[in-house]
Structure 1
């Protein structure tokens, strides 16, 4: 059973204050997305062979914004409910354990995109998202015991992570766990890039 580890846990303000709790994952997630240059990320995404049910690239931005918001709200609700229930030491401990799990899953969440797209490390990215999904599942269970609404707020996030794990592992497998060589320069100066069309291969 995971214990509360203060050094691996966000400061209390990011749980107790609703604006801070909600805006933190939204702001960092958005910043990472833009730092990865969305147009280039979409091109790479479309270049890779993908498993069935691959969603269009435009859906990821709105979906993650919604999920980050729900995640932050769940964190705030669980914290204020659990820490406000000082007469129940079991719920207080579960709340603190959940805060540590929440912080760890945030880190795993934020490093997946650089691993997958910038560093093109599908094996490491898939290991990361498998760990992320497992920790989030446990977090949903832990905080669900503190506050049922918090657990339900994390449920869509957990469902999406399960689907994203399938996509990550599927893309890795279908591309031989190697994303190099999925694009090739064309034109006299090599300034343009033609991406592999999976339907034509």
Structure 2
């Protein structure tokens, strides 16, 4: 096990999440507080720990892909970075621009990108299963985003 690669992988993914949270934090207490939300909206305090855990798992998958050489599969690399980019972009669209419709379009693309990432990594390793909690969370977030869009359109 290459500890340096593991730490670098986890920190890289956490950094992307932290950067996205910059847009989220500014709107949670202002715009988002006034948005009509569905009954299944989790409490705000849950999002930070949930995302931290998910980014940690994503970082472990990045490490496994990098360490075991299947990072050279262009599909793995493309879908992995696409889903990270879409994840970051969602925070900008939904919270930064306060646009649930744009966020919805992005998160649907994110759902697809994560599914493809899981499939492509699974061809090399069952480590892709570490992304299943992430997929579950973003599918839930998609439903939440859709409901917020409908309630506030």
For normalisation by structure 2, the TM-score amounts to 0.89
Task: Provide the rounded CA distance (Å) in 2 between the counterparts of 1:62 and 1:155.
Answer: 17
1:45–1:57 contact (8 Å) kept in structure 2: no
How many pairs does the alignment contain? 150
- Alignment-derived partner of residue 156 in structure 1: 133
RMSD over aligned CA atoms reads 1.9
Task: Provide the rounded CA distance (Å) in 1 between the counterparts of 2:109 and 2:71.
Answer: 25
Q: Deviations over 1:129-155 (max 9, x none)?
A: 00001110111111012110x211100
1:21–1:72 contact (8 Å) kept in structure 2: yes
Structure 1 alignment gaps of length 5 or more: 1-15, 84-90, 177-201
Pair 1:39–1:76, CA change in 2 (3 A): same
Task: Provide the rounded CA distance (Å) in 2 between the counterparts of 1:53 and 1:129.
Answer: 18
Structure 1 segment 1-201 matched on structure 2, within 5 A = 17-33=5-21, 35-36=22-23, 38=25, 40-81=27-68, 83=69, 95-148=73-126, 150-176=127-153
Task: Provide the rounded CA distance (Å) in 2 between the counterparts of 1:92 and 1:25.
Answer: 15
Task: Provide the rounded CA distance (Å) in 2 between the counterparts of 1:37 and 1:106.
Answer: 16
Task: Provide the rounded CA distance (Å) in 1 between the counterparts of 2:40 and 2:30.
Answer: 18
For normalisation by structure 1, the TM-score amounts to 0.69
Structure 2 alignment gaps of length 5 or more: none
Runs of 4+ in 1 over 6 A off after TM superposition: none
Q: Report SS of the residue matched to 2:38.
A: coil
Query: By percentage of residues, which structure has more helix?
Result: 2
